[in-house]
């Protein structure tokens, strides 16, 4: 068990979510930065989809009731174990009674804390993820809560620091045009890839909200609601795109001008308010072979 | 039928009618393609989402789609689900005033049609219904409520719906049902399915 002494700003349990239920209105949810979740899990010897903690901006303070291993990945964060600094991107042993204090995320937006064996809260619809849009899954971490540790580990903890890239301060995200690019003017399509978009402070796990020039439509249009994928750049009537992240709604009524490739979604998930994002178009073939 | 790529691993299939959406959705489900992660119907579309490792399979599917045999509409809809409603919603008097009908007539017109579940969205198990009597078209409330209890039945902008879980919302509330629309511990978790039919009845 792990006891939550302080929950942090927004700390949730996340795995790979609930794919396959979108036709019932159930969002996928799961970790916003799946690459960082996967790395954290591999470091402690877990399968890549084991449930871990997603830490947003300011981290929690956690007390271990038994011996264990942890790994911190994703957005850069200073953490201490009983007051001594803990490195990131490596498995770290924790003894019973020790307190892990995760500080503020200084670069990027979300850090991932994997625990060897996985966080073993009760799965709901096949996932332990907290859905921050719909009332599904465990609640966000609260003071005094106790988190069970599972026995999902299938490998050894990795004691060497894994190489990671620094968070890109002005990332360029690859996108595929459509499915509703024909709704927009040529000027809007040029503007999408021509300017740096500023991430606004009302962004969340649902989507990254972007400020910049208003993307204009070729014609007035009442779009019938349709299914949405993660990475969609949905454009509401005010012309400012929203980049859908893991906890996006299953359907939406505004046109999607372009979709960000999966490999670049971790960059979007780590874009904190104020970050300037750029987009570029790639072909469908290039998008399918895109690597992170 | 129009095909629109939605990123590297999804295809938005657009058709002309809601009925075709449901027939196409049923046909695609029946194929049981192992690489398909999601099939999401909308008003005029079915979104096919592929496993990222198998995105190329979308091309084969796209080639087969025009000749895919669709089941008849009757086979897709199934039996209508009955939703008993206590028509004592806070906004019923306001709806009566806005429509120029009396409350009894509002209820009569709301319980008369057989509705089609266009699709589920907005929140888990939330049905977008078609078939509302145009006389019951009312605007949303000027000020949305911060919390609407689960099971509330409402009207807004020519639509009627049921809130499966407590949530904020701006619909005019005309009643409430005890029937649980969404329960994560049930299989399937949602009472209604896209393409299904339902009737509202007066709860006793």
Mean pLDDT score, B27-46: 97
For A172-288, CATH number out of 3.60.15.10, 2.40.100.10, 3.40.50.970, 3.10.20.440 equals 2.40.100.10
CATH number assigned to the domain comprising residue B36? 3.30.1360.40
Residue A222 is predicted with a pLDDT of 72
Best probe of the A interface among B7, B38, B44, by most A CBs < 10 A, is: B7
Highest mean pLDDT, choosing among A212-221, B86-95, B165-174: B86-95
Shared-domain flag, residues B102 and B140:
yes
Q: Which of B71, B105, B132 is the last residue of a domain?
A: B71
Q: Which residue among A19, A25, A180 places its CB closest to the CB of B125?
A: A25
**% of chain B residues with pLDDT over 70:** 100
What architecture (CATH level 2) is domain A2-147? Sandwich (2.60)
**% of chain A residues with pLDDT over 90:** 92
Residue B6 is predicted with a pLDDT of 98
CA nearest to B36 within chain A: A20
Q: Which residue among A176, A224, A250 places its CB closest to the CB of B40?
A: A250
Shared-domain flag, residues B54 and B144:
no
Write down the domain spans for chain A.
2-147, 172-288
Q: Which residue among A136, A178, A228 places its CB closest to the CB of B4?
A: A178
Could you report how far apart the first and last alpha carbons of chain B are, in Å? 46
Tell me how many residue pairs between chain A and chain B have CB atoms under 8 A apart: 130
Residue B142 is predicted with a pLDDT of 85
Q: Please indicate if any CB of chain A lies within 8 Å of the CB of B176.
A: no
The pTM (predicted TM-score) of the whole model is 0.95
Shared-domain flag, residues B134 and B192:
yes
By residue range, what is the domain housing residue B55? 2-71
B46 to chain A, closest Cα gap in Å: 7
User: A30 with A17: CB under 8 angstroms?
Assistant: yes
Residue A151 is predicted with a pLDDT of 96
Cα distance between residue B66 and residue B55, in whole Å: 19
Shared-domain flag, residues B63 and B95:
no
Q: Please indicate if any CB of chain A lies within 8 Å of the CB of B77.
A: no
Q: Within the 16-55 window of chain A, which residues sit less than 8 Å (CB to CB) from chain B?
A: 19-26
Q: Which of B34, B50, B71 is the last residue of a domain?
A: B71
Supply the mean pLDDT for chain A: 96
| Residue numbers in B near A134 (CB within 8 A) | 123-124, 165
**Which residues make Cβ contacts (< 8 Å) with residue B86, sequence separation at least 6?**
B175, B176, B177, B203
Q: Please indicate if any CB of chain A lies within 8 Å of the CB of B200.
A: no
Structure tokens at B22: 């449901």
CB contact under 8 A, B189 and A26: yes
Residue A81 has pLDDT above 80, yes or no: yes
Supply the mean pLDDT for chain B: 95
Q: Which of B31, B48, B71 is the last residue of a domain?
A: B71
Cα distance between residue A189 and residue A112, in whole Å: 35
pLDDT of A256-282, one tens digit each?
Answer: 999 999 999 999 999 999 999 999 999
Nearest Cα to B73, choosing from B199, B198, B200, B196? B196
**Which residues make Cβ contacts (< 8 Å) with residue B14, sequence separation at least 6?**
B1, B2, B3, B4, B44, B45
pLDDT of A92-117, one tens digit each?
Answer: 999 999 999 999 999 999 999 999 99
Structure tokens at A275: 């970050």
**% of chain A residues with pLDDT over 70:** 100
At residue B168 the predicted structure's pLDDT band, cuts being 50, 70 and 90, is confident
Shared-domain flag, residues B51 and B85:
no
CB contact under 8 A, B165 and A135: yes
A28-44 burial: b if 16+ Cβ within 10 Å, else e:
bbbbbbbbbbbbbbbbb
């Amino acid at each position: 068990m792990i006891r939550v002494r302080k929950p942090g700003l927004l700390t949730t349990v996340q795995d790979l979510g609930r794919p396959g239920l979108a036709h019932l209105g159930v969002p996928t949810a799961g970790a916003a930065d799946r690459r960082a979740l996967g790395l954290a899990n591999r470091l402690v010897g877990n399968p890549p989809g084991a449930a871990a903690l997603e830490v947003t901006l300011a981290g929690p303070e956690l007390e271990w009731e038994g011996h264990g291993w942890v790994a911190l990945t994703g957005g850069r964060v200073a953490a201490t174990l009983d007051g001594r600094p803990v490195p990131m991107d490596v498995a770290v042993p924790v003894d019973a009674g020790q307190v892990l204090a995760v500080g503020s995320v200084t670069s990027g937006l979300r850090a991932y804390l994997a625990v060897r064996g996985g966080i073993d809260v009760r799965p709901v619809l096949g996932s332990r993820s907290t859905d921050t849009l719909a009332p599904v899954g465990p609640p966000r971490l609260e003071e005094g809560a106790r988190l069970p540790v599972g026995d999902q580990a299938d490998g050894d903890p990795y004691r060497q620091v894994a190489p990671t890239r620094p968070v890109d301060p002005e990332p360029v995200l690859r996108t595929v045009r459509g499915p509703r690019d024909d709704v927009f003017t040529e000027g809007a399509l040029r503007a999408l890839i021509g300017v740096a978009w500023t991430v606004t402070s009302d962004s969340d796990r649902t989507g990254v909200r972007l400020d910049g020039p208003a993307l204009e439509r070729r014609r007035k249009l009442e779009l019938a609601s349709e299914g949405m994928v993660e990475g969609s750049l949905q454009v509401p009537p005010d012309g400012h795109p929203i980049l859908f992240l893991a906890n996006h709604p299953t359907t939406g009524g505004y046109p999607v001008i372009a979709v960000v490739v999966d490999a670049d979604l971790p960059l979007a998930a780590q874009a904190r308010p104020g970050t300037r994002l750029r987009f570029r178009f790639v072909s469908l073939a290039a998008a399918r072979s895109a690597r992170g | 039928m129009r095909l629109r790529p939605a990123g590297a691993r999804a295809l938005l299939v657009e058709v002309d009618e809601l009925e075709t959406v449901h027939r196409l959705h049923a046909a695609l489900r029946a194929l049981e393609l192992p690489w398909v992660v999601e099939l999401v119907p909308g008003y005029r579309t079915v979104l096919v989402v592929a496993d990222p490792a198998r995105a190329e399979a979308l091309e084969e599917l796209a080639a087969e789609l025009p000749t895919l045999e669709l089941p008849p509409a009757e086979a897709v809809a199934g039996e209508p689900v009955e939703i008993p409603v206590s028509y004592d919603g806070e906004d019923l008097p306001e709806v009566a005033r806005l429509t120029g009908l009396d409350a009894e007539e509002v209820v009569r017109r709301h319980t008369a049609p057989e509705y089609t579940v266009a699709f589920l969205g907005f929140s888990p198990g939330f049905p977008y219904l078609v078939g509302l009597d145009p006389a019951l078209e009312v605007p949303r409330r000027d000020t949305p409520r911060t919390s609407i209890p689960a099971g509330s039945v409402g009207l807004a902008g020519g639509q009627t719906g049921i809130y499966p879980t407590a949530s904020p919302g701006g619909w005019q509330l005309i009643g409430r049902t005890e029937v649980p629309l969404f329960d994560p511990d049930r299989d399937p978790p949602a009472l209604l399915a896209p393409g299904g039919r339902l009737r509202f009845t007066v709860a006793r």
